[in-house]
Amino acid sequence: MKVEYVNSFYKATKDVLQLLVDIEPQRGEIKVVQDLGSNKDANVELAVVGDLKGTILFSFPKNMTLEMIKIMSGMEMDKIDNFASSALGEVANIIGGNALTLLSQHNYTCDIAPPRIFLGEYKALPVGNGKALLLPLSTPIGEFDITIHLNEGN
């Protein structure tokens, strides 16, 4: 997996979160993982199709999710309801869209399917071929992960 994939998603995440929730995520150390899974509370899956094929998984802890939606909406949040999960899915969707715009500058033309949101543990899906990269990110309101599994399509 190429470095521009990770950098595009990191830059898009940083820009979008700065704008939407006034936080600047800091990169942790990238890990190679064998499957797409997470024990965090709220997971958003984006399927990528086109020149690159695969899945991007955003995994957030509950308290961070609630804090993000609170910052955006100005409303108190005590549970991840339909409103909060929909907003979270849309944040991930916007990040994904911006990352694909960045990837298009490296001549990859891709599209993303509508986000799928999973509350509770995300069941690990083995990645078919190749490995996935897990990028941990830390912010003042919590730590979250982006797992990137992309392959160049044939």
Q: Which residues make up the interface to other proteins (CB under 8 A)?
A: 16, 19-20, 69, 72-75, 81-91, 94
Q: Which letter does DSSP use for residue 51 in this model?
A: S
Nearer Cβ to other proteins, position 17 or 127?
17
Is 17 exposed, middle or buried (CB count within 10 Å of its CB: 0-12, 13-18, 19+)? buried
Nearer Cβ to other proteins, position 95 or 150?
95
> In 10 A of CB 96, how many CB atoms?
25
Instruction: Provide the minimum distance between the beta carbon of 120 and other proteins in the complex, in angstroms, as a whole number.
Output: 18
Instruction: Provide the minimum distance between the beta carbon of 33 and other proteins in the complex, in angstroms, as a whole number.
Output: 28
Nearer Cβ to other proteins, position 3 or 19?
19
Instruction: Provide the minimum distance between the beta carbon of 97 and other proteins in the complex, in angstroms, as a whole number.
Output: 10
Instruction: Provide the minimum distance between the beta carbon of 12 and other proteins in the complex, in angstroms, as a whole number.
Output: 12
Residue 54 three-state SS: strand
Nearer Cβ to other proteins, position 74 or 126?
74
| Exposure b/e, 121-143, CB count within 10 A at least 16 = b | ebeeeebeeeebbbbbbebebbb
**Cα–Cα distance between 19 and 9 in angstroms, integer?**
15
